[in-house]
Amino acid sequence: MTTSIETIRDDFSLLDEWEDRYRYVIELGEALPPFPEAERTAVNKVPGCVSQVWLTTEQGPGIDPVISFHGDSDAHIVRGLVAIMLALFSGRPASEIRNTDAEVTLKELGLDEHLSPQRANGLRSMVKRIKRDAEAALKQTA
């Protein structure tokens, strides 16, 4: 993932129409690196999403390990939402992930107003999984 959450925020601020933002979210998803077919397992599947979403977690060393996430979805817009969540959380220390409020970012981007209840619930499930993995990493090193 090469697009930072700051870049995404800046780009969103330049797009006035929701249709342009929607296309941009899809483009973010298209830019995700390929997700290995072997990782599309029940263990990596995020429950609570209408579309299929897979998420893998890689944990670095240390008491507050840096965690990297990789993800994918079978739906274009959801794949873009995965890309936004990866930009927000991936490559950060577990304690920072735990303390990051994804709802604030979604409001800043205006996504909270434009997602269907099912997509919003799926996004919350993805955030819950990311935070759970960060908590687990912190407990392992304690």
Please state, in angstroms and as integers, the Cα–Cα distance from residue 110 to each residue in 56, 65, 73, 75, 126, following that order: 27, 31, 21, 20, 18
Q: How far apart are CA 96 and CA 17, in angstroms?
A: 32
Please state, in angstroms and as integers, the Cα–Cα distance from residue 91 to each residue in 49, 116, 125, 133, following that order: 23, 28, 20, 13
- Would you please indicate which residues are annotated as catalytic (active-site) residues? 49
Q: Are 51 and 122 in contact (CB under 8 A)?
A: yes
